[in-house]
Structure 1
């Protein structure tokens, strides 16, 4: 599927929800895309193409888990779930970051998975402000991984996430 076709598919299968999670926000819901076998296959193939050469796929909590697992299967690699804070037993590597409304934490296991020198490609659903993606990259690097890039299904360009994550190479299947 061409880049234009995948972008059109993402646009057509994204549900917009006004005033969620708060008034004035237009939420972009990818659930219809992920629930459609054709849509899921198309985005999985496109994300996997962006991740060629990676040793491991990191999927960000929570929809990134679904996408990351699908990409890992397509590529014949494993998947690492990058969890929100407090969801994993210790010991963990953790990275705290700032959100527009407070702080949050991401975690990965500190033992049982050796990331030293491994190429870990990050997959997520949406790139908005870039805070979560930036924190995930720092977390993975702290654990010894190299992060060659990331890919998202949807980029909300007006929120400046691409600038926030620079110089990381980010592939977006559709940008609004």
Structure 2
């Protein structure tokens, strides 16, 4: 166990390089994204690092038993890790951009729908249009406890209106009226 700890402490300077390379690749990717309008250009630094990592790894595997081969393998692992993190950063940026684009399109379509819904309501200029009847409450008069309500029951497209009157003072309590708009 102490041998592993000694080995890690001897090579800790090599381990400190990995986060630096990864952060530099992420910063370069983000800068390229903001400076260019094209989607593919931000992938180029990560792809170049990945290709360089593969080339270095292949040359390191040929000389793997020597000290130089092990150093080349370390470098290939660092560059490959930085390339993968850079590619994932590019995918995350693309995901965020597409989500923002879709939400803005949805908001625009919702606003257009609301505007068209407001414009679709007919303006009553004459009596040939549909007549709308709503609930109408009469205010309470002092001294009377009973309230009379007119409640709309059904509106047809043929301009027939059915309404019922709820009168708590009468015996039947409900009276139905039918009327036609002329």
TM range (shorter): under 0.3
Select the structure with the greater relative contact order (CA < 8 A; seq sep ≥ 6): 1
Task: Kindly indicate which of the two structures has a greater share of residues assigned to helix.
Answer: 2
TM-score, normalisation: structure 2? 0.20
Larger strand share, 1 or 2: 1
TM-score by length of structure 1 reads 0.21
